[in-house]
Amino acid sequence: MPSSPRHSGSSGDRTVYSEFGATARPDATERPISELPPNQQNIRIQASRKGRKGKTVTVITGFQAKPETLAALLKQLKTQCGAGGTVKDNEIEIQGDHTQTLLPILTKLGYKAKISGG
């Protein structure tokens, strides 16, 4: 059976309209993250137990930094609190309720930090 003339030139690309002729979509992991200095970042510190089987975790959000910077900061904060932690989705999570401990540490590092939630 001969191929249809409508589909003979297409190689799986189903783009209907493309301005400026961009053929490849940038991947979500390749987006450049603009790193702001600490004094321009508004950081929120919150103790959370949601979805963690009743365990309290301190979540620090609002970072606009590269993953390497967050990893270095996480290591420093874990040492200061004496607890474990991780970086997830540009947020730092530290095991336990350390909101009062982390506020002066982050402020001393130059971040504009506030405790949110109650």
pLDDT tens digits for 5-32?
555 555 566 777 767 755 555 554 555 5
Please answer whether residues 92 and 59 qualify as being in contact, where contact means their C-beta atoms are separated by less than 8 angstroms. Answer: yes
Domain limits for position 73 = 35-115
pLDDT digits (tens, 9 = 90+) for 31-54: 556 788 888 889 999 999 988 888
Q: What pLDDT score was predicted for residue 1?
A: 58
Can you say how many angstroms the Cα of residue 77 is from the centroid of all Cα atoms in its chain?
17
What is the domain count for the chain? 1
Enter the pTM of the model: 0.70
| CATH number of the domain enclosing 93 | 3.30.780.10
pLDDT digits (tens, 9 = 90+) for 102-114: 999 999 999 999 9
- What is the C-alpha separation between 74 and 59, in angstroms, rounded? 11
Q: What percent of the chain has pLDDT over 70?
A: 76
Does residue 77 sit within a domain? Answer: yes
pLDDT greater than 70 at residue 62? yes
pLDDT greater than 80 at residue 77? yes
Does residue 71 sit within a domain? Answer: yes
